[in-house]
Amino acid sequence: MSVRNQEPNALWNHFADLNAVPRPSKKEERVIEFMMSFGRELNLETIKDKIGNVIIKKPASPGMENRKKVILQSHLDMVHQKNGDTVFDFDKEGIKMRVQGDWIDAEGTTLGADNGIGVATIMATLSSKEIAHPPLEALFTIDEETGMTGAKELDGSLFNGEILLNLDTEDDDELSIGCAGGIDTNTSYQYHTIETPSNSTGYEIQIKGLLGGHSGMDIDSGRGNANKWMARILWNLSQQNDLFLDVFDGGGLRNAIPREAACSFNISNASSEKMKLEFEKQKQILITEYKSIENNISIEISETSNSEKVISKSDSVKILNTLCSLHNGVYRMSPDIDGLVETSSSLARVLIKDGAFVTQSLQRSSVESTKDEIAMTIKSAFENMGCTVTQSGDYPGWKPNPNSDILTIMENLYKELFHEEPQVKACHAGLECGILGKHLPNVDMISFGPNIRAAHSPDEKVQISSVQKFWKYYIATLKAIPVT
């Protein structure tokens, strides 16, 4: 059974249409034009603002004209990640979706349910003649995944809405009323090279099969970070052997937990057997430590041809010491909200190649002062070894408002529909609501969505029955919007 045959049919067909359009962050030109054409074909007021966000406005359905105006918001871009053995061109190909029982995923790539399901939900509302709804202002933002520039550059004067429904969370029993802010830390260092020692052998270590996932929502899951694992193995191998780094390539996107890493290095022939024994020891330690979480671990070593040059021993030591010293994972749990990660850091990308050692990491916090603290901690570690450090993309968190009117409406509605209490939470992801609130200071905001698992990884999937539940709840929410 194809994706287009699922219910609600309009939503899934719009999702399939959207997923046929390449839409990586920073390259949203095609999906912007797709959304502009969509709005114009419906004869609705359609605007592209100065940064590239698309706004489509629709009058209320008959009898709903006196309800509060609602802003429906989702982001157009998606994370592009694929398995190492998957051949796929994100710039040219549409996502290859498949139905797997009650779930929909993609063939070896991210699915784009984050935030394509939200976009498709809004599209189904705009194109419908049957759904009862208040006056609507649909906001489709760009570049949410790599900097939130669409939200940052939004012109708030284009909107008159009093309530904002953000459709970008990943558990269908949750109502999100707060989120973390974040800051990117990018570093670079020009290392020294030497002639590869003649009495040495080249080796390559490859780490594959880790779960990966969203570096905000999944940071407290205890999943392995391939970059940190690789640094840990190499540091231990270097303690009793002269190890010279060559190439290190780990991780990918700034907001994804690294699933894979590869590193080549040279070690003296006299130390090779001792090094292999230590490698097996470190491999088994990691497998044992993570056996209850990571069940598809692959850590392998093989001989490789020698490069003409390798990184000097002193710089190899500096690099490994720095990578091992970095805090990675949860930094502080919230003292005020039970179970909420307040502050974290994720080492997303490490690349050593062609004379440069570069890294990308992302620090998150729902508290500005501890966001500054963890950013300072990471910056200091890199500056101590002489790296150039650039911190950018700073965006604020969204402070929870437990007295929100739309929260009260949606809590009561959830209990009425599903006969259970919803989970009212703040999340550790970087929802756009914190930034949008700066441009729309008097707007009452809430975020919700269907069950999406393994976002930002090739294992991403969305649950069909959960989308049906979410759709029912969403339609009921539109009907329940109060009179202005």
Q: Catalytic site residues?
A: 77, 144
Distance CA 149, CA 358 (A): 23
Outline where 168-249 has alpha helix (H). 226-238
CA nearest 184: which of 456, 381, 379, 473?
379
Alpha carbons within 13 A on the beta-carbon side of 353:
9
Distance CA 248, CA 229 (A): 12
Q: What is the DSSP track for 342-353? A: EEEEEEEEEEEE
Measured CA to CA in angstroms, residue 6 lies from 105, 114, 123 at distances of: 14, 18, 16
List b or e across 275-304, with b for residues whose CB sees 16 or more CB atoms inside 10 angstroms: beebbeebbeebeeebeeebeebebebeeb
Strands ordered across the beta sheet of 444-447: 45-48, 54-58, 136-141, 70-75, 163-166, 444-447, 174-178, 423-426
Q: How many CB atoms lie within 10 A of CB 312?
A: 15
Helix H or strand E encompassing 55: strand 54-58
The single-letter code of the amino acid at 237 is L
- Angle at which helices 464-480 and 113-127 pack, to 10 degrees? 50
Q: How far apart are CA 125 and CA 233, in angstroms?
A: 52
**Residue 305 CB partners (closer than 8 Å, separation 6+):** 202
Query: Measuring CA to CA, which residue among 106, 457, 83, 428 is closest to residue 253?
Result: 457
Distance, CA of 358 to CA of 362 (rounded, Å):
14
> What's at 413, amino acid-wise?
L
Residue linked to tokens 């909200």: 337
